[in-house]
Amino acid sequence: MTEYDKLYIDGAWVPSTGQETIEVINPSTEQVIASVPAGTPADVDRAVAAAKTAFETWGLTGSEERGKYVQAIAEGLAARSEEIAQTISDELGMPLMWSNMIQAGLPAGNMAGYVQILDEFVFEEQVGNSLVVKEPVGVVGAITPWNYPLHQVVAKLAPALAAGCTVVLKPSEVTPLNAFILAEIIDSSGLPAGVFNLVTGTGPVVGEAIASHPDVDMVSFTGSTRAGKRVTELGAPSVKRVHLELGGKSANVFLDDANFEAAVAPGVIFGCYLNSGQTCSALTRMVVPRNRQDEVVALAKAAAESIAVGPGNSDAQLGPLVSAVQRERVRGYIQKGIDEGATLVTGGVDAPEGLDTGYFVQPTVFADVTSDMTIAQEEIFGPVLAIMPYDDEDDALRIANDSIYGLSGGVQSSDIERAKTFARKMRTGQVNINEGAYNLQAPFGGYKQSGNGRELGKFGLEEFLETKAMQLP
């Protein structure tokens, strides 16, 4: 067991003002593997004060100088990628093959990408007799989730640093270990003291202290919609900028000319089940022509039952859920789907065979799901697919948009223009057409109760900038 007993504040490793610790559990084994400090509001005060002081200098540095630090951090992430992948596999449960590609690969690539973005971004322009300049927003409180822990940290940290902001980070207390590796990398990069600060702890204590702090100029939060509403409430008295990336219940729409044989299996395995379904943008509703549902059900059943389920240190495709609480939550939704009359195609509430230890859930598929069912409306955050039949294209669009969420979506069609036309009508921030590849330079964020603002690429950088106009004679 590894014990982390210090926080990273003002360029130094310092003890928390509190005495409590938080245990980190390996979801594959249910064993405690580490502990981290349970930070306090006093720790947040210290970190914010350091960030505020550091901003006075860091906010005035040139983009070229900031880019050098961003590059150094990117190189540090790449150099320690194997350690990062193993650490996240241990604390989250994602099988190591995926953890290497996604949990370690994406953050390193994203951080490196902001070096080029800085080179190309226009921070000032002449508009008539005005000089319009883009300036850093100030001290940023970054509150990040457990499902893609380092990726979501870097999605906030990289553009914030590139913009000239200083940062106080609270990673998820469920998967915090990767953030300590990041802090070590930042410490060795020579980034000026106070520009980055790490305070671990729980949401109700550390998260709320950050969101309500009068000297935090902006909060960037990724997590549940319920928690996002709370962050917004806490930020309101100081009218700070609040950026939210929240839940989703995304629809993957198969138009009647889609290649079902080619597209259903990827839609199940990657679209819905990636990271054991613990993905806010997962395509958890598969919307299909009613007269093709039986065909889709057979293909989805075969895909789900082909997936190897196992611990993070195995060659499995699907690992455990992150915690016992999450496992019971997902099992509850599966039971509710059964109780409300959906057809259970495969999977169910029982543990996968031979996996009684670990927080495992069977890959599950439901058919005959209607929009009034709980499993069609609420974010499950587990490997549960709802197949929903439609009668015509207007009905398909109605089903797709019948959600409080609007984070992602998919359209499958042999006619790319037809797919694009349909995608334009979907009330969602991102649409994958015919399994279009993930793009770190494209904006990511949601409509409706999936949040506001955008991450990634130049769009992510703009979130951390204020706009000033200087009227010239």
Cβ neighbours around 376 below 10 Å, total: 22
Band (390; pLDDT cuts 50, 70, 90): very high
- The average pLDDT across 261-285 equals 98
Cα separation of 278 and 297, whole Å? 22
Per-residue pLDDT, 447: 98
Per-residue pLDDT, 18: 98
Band (56; pLDDT cuts 50, 70, 90): very high
Query: What is the residue-averaged pLDDT of the chain?
Result: 98
Would strands 241-245 and 451-452 be described as parallel, antiparallel, or unpaired? Answer: antiparallel
**63-79 vs 81-92: helix crossing angle, rounded to 10:** 70
Q: Which of 208, 245, 379, 463 is catalytic?
A: 245
Strand-pair partners of 220: 142, 243
Per-residue pLDDT, 309: 97
Per-residue pLDDT, 322: 98
User: How many residues in total does the chain contain?
Assistant: 473
Residue 455 appears among annotated catalytic residues = no
Per-residue pLDDT, 103: 97
Helices (H), 190-311: 208-212, 225-235, 260-266, 293-305
Angle of CA points 394, 399, 402, to nearest 5°: 120
Ordered domains of the chain (ranges, CATH): 2-246+450-471 (3.40.605.10), 251-439 (3.40.309.10)
pTM (predicted TM-score): 0.97
Residue type for position 463: E
Band (357; pLDDT cuts 50, 70, 90): very high
Q: What is the CA radius of gyration of the chain?
A: 22
* pLDDT tens by residue, 394-433: 999 999 999 999 999 999 999 999 999 999 999 999 999 9
Task: Measure Cα distances from 256 to 290, 292, 349 in Å.
Answer: 10, 8, 32
Cα separation of 39 and 19, whole Å? 9
Per-residue pLDDT, 128: 98
Per-residue pLDDT, 141: 98
Phi, psi of 231 (to 5 degrees): -60, -40
Q: Which of 208, 280, 455, 463 is catalytic?
A: 280
Per-residue pLDDT, 2: 95
- The average pLDDT across 160-173 equals 98
Strand-pair partners of 469: 132
- The average pLDDT across 126-134 equals 98
Cα separation of 1 and 6, whole Å? 16
Cα separation of 380 and 275, whole Å? 13
Helices (H), 245-284: 260-266
Cα separation of 148 and 106, whole Å? 10
* pLDDT tens by residue, 68-117: 999 999 999 999 999 999 999 999 999 999 999 999 999 999 999 999 99
* pLDDT tens by residue, 200-259: 999 999 999 999 999 999 999 999 999 999 999 999 999 999 999 999 999 999 999 999
Which residue spans within 28-109 are E strands per DSSP? 31-37
Per-residue pLDDT, 101: 95
* pLDDT tens by residue, 284-325: 999 999 999 999 999 999 999 999 999 999 999 999 999 999
Per-residue pLDDT, 238: 97
Residue 245 appears among annotated catalytic residues = yes
Q: Decide if 322 contacts 359 (C-beta within 8 A).
A: yes
* pLDDT tens by residue, 13-47: 999 999 999 999 999 999 999 999 999 999 999 99
Closest by alpha carbon to 324, among 1, 31, 27, 95?
27
- CA neighbours within 13 Å on the CB side: how many for 423? 21
Strand-pair partners of 167: 140, 196
Per-residue pLDDT, 226: 96
Residue type for position 191: L
Cα separation of 460 and 465, whole Å? 10
- The average pLDDT across 371-393 equals 98
